[in-house]
Chain A
Amino acid sequence: MNERTHVIRFANVEQTFGRDDGSAVTALEDVTFDIGRHEFLAVLGPSGCGKSTLLRLIAGLIFPTRGTISIYDLAVTEPRDEIGIVFQRPTLLPWFDVLGNVTFPLRHKYGRVSAADKVRARDLLALVGLSDFASKRIDELSGGMQQRVAIARALLLDPDILLMDEPFSALDALTRDEMGFELLRIWSEKPKTVLFITHSIPEAVLLADRIIVMTPRPGRVREVIDVNLARPRSIATLSEPAFNALANHIRGQLFTRVVA
């Protein structure tokens, strides 16, 4: 566990955003951590702790004010192909059917989709449990199904790194639990390096190998927690004493600041 090969590394990253009125907001301050190959890392923290900023920095959509972010020891200077992103909202395209949405990244990047690509997209739909939905319209799908399509879309270019920005927070509680287990299954079938942003403690503990707990305004790393729960994890994991102990510990970490 300690002998990781680093895929993503944050070194003393600071991120400030200028406001319209000329003042500046520090979103991240002195953030240092790394993510190992095929590790599932959850970033947990209240809103305003710069979680999404972390994700956009890795994706190369924004660049740090100070410090460096590197992927495979190369500084991030632009968006890279080995990254897939799943957002909080599915943000599918209503003018395409399900298959068209999964193949969209190829159409968008290269302007064409080959028959082989479509076969691959169908395989991905099978992976996310939507084999029979390839030609359905988007508005025929439930929220959970739409997010499955978004996951398949993110996997299309077979990225090494999967960035997930609170992907299940817009779903109802039952669907959310189900999608957590589904994600673990998908991850075990297609191992990826995952950065999973969430504000749900149980979700983070259930899914992740490690959890980074952040503090808000400015966002700093408060604690990095190893989750030593056995895999594969299941419903039974939720009732393990170790699970609850860890969840309670994190809850304490997050609330001490508020009380103090």
Chain B
Amino acid sequence: MTQGAAASLASESRRAPAWRTWADRLAPASAFIVLICVWEAACRFFRIPSYLLPAPSAIVVAGLNVTAAQWLSNIGSTLRVALMGYAVAIAISIPLAVALVSSRILSRTLYPIIVIVQSTPIVAIAPIIVVTLGASDLPRVVITFLITFFPIVVSTVTGLMATPEELIELSRSLRAGRVREMLHIRLPFAVPFIFSALKISTTLAVIGAVVAEFVAAEHGLGFFIMFSTSFFKIPQAFAGLAVLVALSLALFRLCSLAQRWFVPWSLPKSER
């Protein structure tokens, strides 16, 4: 009797915060909606001119005034540059990290160079790259690569070094060789580290593509924003910005989903 009462009490107290889990789920969306409403209200109430800060409604209207074909072409070229730069960054960074971990000489010689490249403001050398490499996708991809690759290298190196010492000893006691040690133990162990860098790098890839388009382009969302501001079409520039944010978020989300699909073990239990 008392046990039954205690049990039902326990289940009550477990059920009670149901509204709280809903509140928890809706919190981010409602915060966003509230922010938009405050923004809209402020613009209308204080009559803020649209060239200073356009109201959300004005941004939506401006966005709808641009044709779908225009949007798609701009999104397409930004996405193309971002993804190509991202792919090149992955293809170069991971083998580079493996080389840095495998060889002391390589790490002594290459690491300072990588740090110097990373310390160089890419926005500042972007115009130089464009002059050197000409007006094609190539300079844009190179700029995106330069902005994207560093976190991937650093995270992969950290992951490769974080492998438990015991497993390396196990590998050596089996005389499996350094290639297998890298492929069977170190690289899989680095996967969680690599994915956290890949997620950060999705946003960096979009930034890289936009920076490249600011410097030299006739299409793309970066160009679209530059073009819109030069004609004082500020709401339209904001619409371009909103699309860029959405693009970044989508890429980030895709990367998270890829991790969940292909390497679910690399996620903490709660995130699977």
Give me the interface of A with B, judged by CB distance under 8 Å: 56, 59-61, 78-79, 83, 85, 87-89, 91, 93-95, 104-105, 107-109, 111, 137, 139
Contacts and interface: CB of A to CB of B under 8 A. Distances in A.
A87 B166 contact: yes
Contact of A89 (B164, B188, B263): B164
Interface string B66-84: 0000000000000000000
11 contacts: A83-B173, A85-B170, A87-B170, A94-B265, A95-B263, A105-B170, A107-B184, A108-B171, A108-B174, A109-B174, A109-B176
Given A95-B188, A108-B184, A111-B180, A79 B173 contact: yes
A66 B176 CA distance: 28
Contacts of B173: 59-61, 79, 83, 85
Contacts of A109: 174-176, 180
A12 B184 CA distance: 38
Given A95-B188, A108-B180, A79 B265 contact: no
B180 to A, nearest CB: 6
A95 B264 CA distance: 9
A253 B184 CA distance: 45
Interface residues of B, number: 20
B42 interface: no
A54 to B, nearest CB: 14
A217 B263 CA distance: 45
Given A85-B169, A105-B170, A108-B171, A93 B188 contact: yes
A91 B166 contact: yes
A61 B173 CA distance: 7
B195 to A, nearest CB: 13
Interface string B253-272: 00000000001011001000
B249 interface: no
B174 A91 contact: no
A111 B265 CA distance: 22
Contacts, number: 55
Interface string B153-179: 000000000001011011111111000
User: Is chain B's interface secondary structure helix, strand, loop, or mixed overall?
Assistant: helix
Nearest to B188: A95
A89 B170 CA distance: 12
A104 B191 CA distance: 18
Given A108-B180, A108-B184, A109-B174, A56 B166 contact: no
A89 B166 contact: yes
Contacts of B171: 108
Contacts of B174: 79, 105, 108-109
B129 to A, nearest CB: 39
Nearest to B263: A95
B170 A137 contact: no
B175 A78 contact: yes
B185 to A, nearest CB: 8
Contacts of B176: 108-109
Contacts of B166: 87-89, 91
Contacts of A104: 184
A61 B184 contact: no
A91 to B, nearest CB: 4
Contacts of A83: 173
A95 B265 contact: yes
Contact of B269 (A61, A87, A107, A139): A139
B259 to A, nearest CB: 13
Contacts of B266: 94-95
A57 to B, nearest CB: 12
B18 to A, nearest CB: 28
Interface in B170-210: 170-176, 180, 184-185, 188, 191
A194 B169 CA distance: 18
A83 to B, nearest CB: 6
Contacts of A60: 173
User: Which 10 interchain pairs have the tightest Cβ spacing?
Assistant: A87-B166, A79-B173, A91-B166, A109-B174, A94-B265, A108-B176, A91-B164, A95-B265, A108-B184, A109-B176
